[in-house]
């Protein structure tokens, strides 16, 4: 009976990893305006709104990631991630009046102008989770650690199904220096002209763990070689967690 329970548990965990948890993810790539202190706006207004939406059950998470090493010439320097169980929920119950109901129309207009002046939205993409590996996770939106690396992939329609299975197989077991892993499929734009249509995310507890994972230059394992043939790895971008919101217990 104990062996049967263990096998069933492993099967359940494998199913979550192979299928993902179905979370819908809105990624907003932002270029902040020097001198306009967009970080304060995020902390004083949008973080509070995100917490309200999370506690109401509209969204399951909201994270702000900073892109280390970015400069004034970088195309973007901040990533805002909204997570929900339904695509319609990504933009639902949002807006300044919800978090500041005492604001007049003029107050809302002034704040909106200030917010727009403080940042430029470079890309706004919608994705869905197709693979997930976090210790102890049973399909819920995981709490993100301090560091993440987003890996943008161009796969194409023909290889999509096989690629998803191969990536999940590759990252379903021990993650080494990583504390978590996710596979995301892009939903908003598809086709041969898009920069990426899939994304993997590697999560690390700290910056040193991420850097140390890149020191060695090992031979390519057979399993990874098969995945490499199905994808064009466009770019890997390390990110530092600045703000995180999850529903209050």
User: Which CATH number belongs to the domain containing residue 11 in this structure?
Assistant: 3.30.70.100
Cα separation, 134 vs 136, whole angstroms: 6
Q: Which residues contact 97 (CB under 8 A, 6 or more apart)?
A: 103, 108
Please state, in angstroms and as integers, the Cα–Cα distance from residue 226 to each residue in 51, 138, 169, following that order.
Answer: 42, 28, 11
What pLDDT score was predicted for residue 10?
37
Q: Is-contact 199 153, C-beta < 8 A?
A: yes
* Lookup: tokens for 7: 């096998």
**pTM, to two decimals:** 0.89
Q: Element (H or E) spanning 56, and its range?
A: helix 47-56
Tokens at residue 21, please?
């948890």
Could you tell me which of 98, 97, 23 has the C-alpha nearest to residue 53?
Answer: 98
Degrees, nearest 5: CA angle 164-170-173? 120
Assess contact for 10 and 172: CB atoms under 8 A.
no
Find the angle CA(144)-CA(32)-CA(206) to the nearest 5 degrees.
25
- Domain total for the chain? 1
Give 93-151 as a DSSP string.
T-SHHHH-TT--HHHHHHHHHHHHHHEEEEEEEEEEEEEEEETT--SSPPPP-SEEEEE
Domain residues for the domain of 127 are 2-245
Q: What angle do CA 242, 18, 62 make, to 5 degrees?
A: 20
Q: CA Rg, the chain, in Å?
A: 19
Per-position pLDDT tens, the chain of length 249: 443 333 334 333 343 444 578 899 999 999 999 999 999 999 989 999 999 999 999 999 999 999 999 998 999 999 999 999 999 999 998 888 888 888 899 999 999 999 999 999 999 999 999 999 998 888 889 999 999 999 999 999 888 999 999 999 988 888 999 999 999 999 999 888 899 999 999 999 999 999 999 998 988 888 788 888 889 999 999 999 999 999 997
Name the maximum alpha-carbon separation found in the chain.
Answer: 67
According to DSSP, residue 38 is labeled H
Say what the pLDDT of residue 196 is. Answer: 96
Neighbours of 224 (CB within 10 A): 13
CA distance 201 to 212: 17
Which pLDDT score, from 0 to 100, does residue 163 have?
94
């Amino acid at each position: 009976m104990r062996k049967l329970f263990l096998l069933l548990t492993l099967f359940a965990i494998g199913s979550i990893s192979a299928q993902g948890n179905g979370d819908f993810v809105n990624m907003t790539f932002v270029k902040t305006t020097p001198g306009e202190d967009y970080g304060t706006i995020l902390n004083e207004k949008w973080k509070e709104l995100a917490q309200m939406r999370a506690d109401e059950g509209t969204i399951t998470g909201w994270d702000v990631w900073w892109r280390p090493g970015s400069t004034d010439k970088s195309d973007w320097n901040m990533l805002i991630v909204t997570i929900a169980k339904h695509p319609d929920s990504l933009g639902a119950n949002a807006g300044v009046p919800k978090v500041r109901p005492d604001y007049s129309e003029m107050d809302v207009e002034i704040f909106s102008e200030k917010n727009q002046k403080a940042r430029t939205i470079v890309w706004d993409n919608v994705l869905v989770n197709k693979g997930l590996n976090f210790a102890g996770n049973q399909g819920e939106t995981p709490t993100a650690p301090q560091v993440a690396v987003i890996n943008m992939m161009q796969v194409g329609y023909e290889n999509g199904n096989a690629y998803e299975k191969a990536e999940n197989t590759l990252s379903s077991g021990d993650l080494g220096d990583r504390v978590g892993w996710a596979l995301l499929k892009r939903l908003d734009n598809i086709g041969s002209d898009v920069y990426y249509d899939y994304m993997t995310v590697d999560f690390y507890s700290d910056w040193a763990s991420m850097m140390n994972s890149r020191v060695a230059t090992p031979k390519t394992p057979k399993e990874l070689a098969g995945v490499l043939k199905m994808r064009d790895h466009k770019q890997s971008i390390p990110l530092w967690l600045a703000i995180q919101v999850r529903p209050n217990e």
